[in-house]
Amino acid sequence: MGSISRGRNLGPGAGAGALQVPCGRVHQIGALALIAATFLLTRAFDRLSCGLSYGGLASVASSAALFDRAGSLFWPDRGYGSRLDLKIYVYEEKEIDGLRELMRGRDGRISPDACVKGQWGTQVKIHQLLLKSRFRTINKQEADFFFVPSYVKCVRMMGGLNDKEINNTYVKILSQMPYFRYSGGRDHIFVFPSGAGAHLFRSWATFLNRSIILTPEGDRTDKRDISAFNTWKDIIIPGNVDDGMTKFYGSNVVQPIPLSKRQHLANFLGRAQGKVGRLRLVELAKQYPDKLESPELQLTGPNKLGRTDYFNHLKNAKFCLAPRGESSWTLRFYESFFVECVPVILSDQVELPFQNVIDYTQISIKWPSTRISTQLLEYLETIPDEVIEAMIARGRQVRCLWVYAPETEPCSAMVGIMWELQRKVRRFHQSGETFWLHNGSVVNRDLVEFHDWRPPVPLP
């Protein structure tokens, strides 16, 4: 029996007499080295090509968001388009009976200026900015969306309307909107800026369950049977940061200070409100006052913490803790970016705005609310200052998205909202009460053409 040759066949025609090259240990080692070198070189080329695939844009790894060469926020083409192109009709205050009451109260005495501050100020700011927007149209037939102005949270807080009056007034104005009936409310936009969300309108589930709701509040099923926030149709918007803190409104209320000069590792500035997470922070602050600051906030009286004092406290820590209160979102998350501390989210159900363009892991920390203990402080102590500085720098890039400034700014909350709205444009409108015929005309159940509908249009 012949022996098995260890040689290498040099060609398809090689037979028994073909040249055979012996393969020893040296050759095996050399082959393995060649394979390893080829693998490493291929990986290097792959990494290089991946780094160039953004065409000059900042890489996701080094930035919390993408910006174009002009400094404008870069929205992804997928699902949005390459440029903003939409038209929004804004209902006039006197156009619909009852709308004025939702903006000024039953006696008409509440002014927009009285409602522009505080967490409900976004209702006023978004409305006022849309009135001046280049996307506004006065032609209902060409509108992609219909904006329904309302300052109802402010009106309620100032005694202008009670809950029953708010509910009845909303139903009254909706019954007078043929275009709302036409689409089933799918192209109508409402702003609900507080923790209560759309629940300010008790019958929202009947009338606004298809409409677009702008709100800083996400899922509320922890306290209610159903949530008024739907991830498919609604849009999370930033809270209303004090104008004096932003670069768009002159000098800041306070200027950030270097990390080395900050007195505390972390702080929590807010009322405990009987909430478990907040109570734990208050107790931690008592145990470790040199690490965690959590003063008792007085909202009234001689010891009330003033606006400037509040921000001076907030800026004096490396980390600003943002636990949930009555609801999952908190304004402290947004404020922290302007005093330049790293926000630490202690709210498990929180929803954050513009998640398709912002990598929140680059600019904030989210910690389990069930682990608010010394473990949290020990973890924060392990983070080097250079890492904190890098997170603050990336947050400085994207904080313009928290500012309700004109859309002429390359980056603002309004620009972000416009992009998110564009993703929800529906060119074809229908509802359970609209029908169409062979000639394209849209009719109601009585076969009356849409343009002949007359308000008030009854709703279920």
DSSP 57-81: PPPTTT-SS-B-TTS-B---STTT-
The reported pLDDT for the residue numbered 271 is 82
The alpha-helical segments, DSSP class H, found in 227-357 are 276-287, 307-314, 331-339
Residue 34 pLDDT: 58
Confidence of residue 270 (pLDDT cuts 50, 70, 90): confident
Instruction: Return the pLDDT at 302.
Output: 66
pLDDT band at 346 (very low <50, low <70, confident <90, very high): very high
| Residue 56 confidence (pLDDT) | 29
Q: What is the DSSP letter of 449?
A: B
The domains found in the chain, sorted by start residue, are 88-239 (no CATH), 243-403 (3.40.50.2000)
Give residue 66's pLDDT: 66
Judge contact between 229 and 218, C-beta under 8 A. yes
What percent of the chain stands above pLDDT 70? 80
For residue 82 the two structure tokens come to: 């390459």
CB atoms within 10 A of CB 298: 11
CA atoms within 13 A on the CB side of 199: 17
Instruction: Tell whether omega for the bond before 456 is within 30 degrees of 0, i.e. cis.
Output: yes
- Which pLDDT belongs to residue 196? 81
Q: Which amino acid is at 284?
A: L
Give which of 297, 377, 312, 386 is closest to 344, Cα–Cα. 377
pLDDT at 13 over 60: no
Read off the tokens for 353.
Answer: 């705005």
Residue 30 CB neighbours (<10 A): 11
**Predicted pLDDT at 71:** 65
Check: CB of residue 444 under 8 Å from CB of residue 197.
Answer: no
Residue of 448, 447, 444, 454 lying closest to 184 (CA atoms): 444
Across 42-57, average pLDDT: 34
Write out pLDDT tens, residues 187-222.
Answer: 999 999 887 888 899 999 999 999 999 999 876 666
Q: pLDDT for 298-339, tens place per residue?
A: 656 666 677 778 888 899 999 999 998 888 889 999 999 999
Measured in degrees and rounded to the nearest 5, phi and psi for residue 356 equal -75, -15
Confidence of residue 7 (pLDDT cuts 50, 70, 90): very low
Tens of pLDDT, residue by residue over 214-245, are 999 876 666 667 778 888 899 999 999 988 88
Q: Does pLDDT of 32 surpass 70?
A: no
CA angle 430/445/457 to nearest 5° reads 80
Q: What angle do CA 62, 416, 91 make, to 5 degrees?
A: 175
Asked if the model's pLDDT at residue 360 lies above 90, the reply is yes
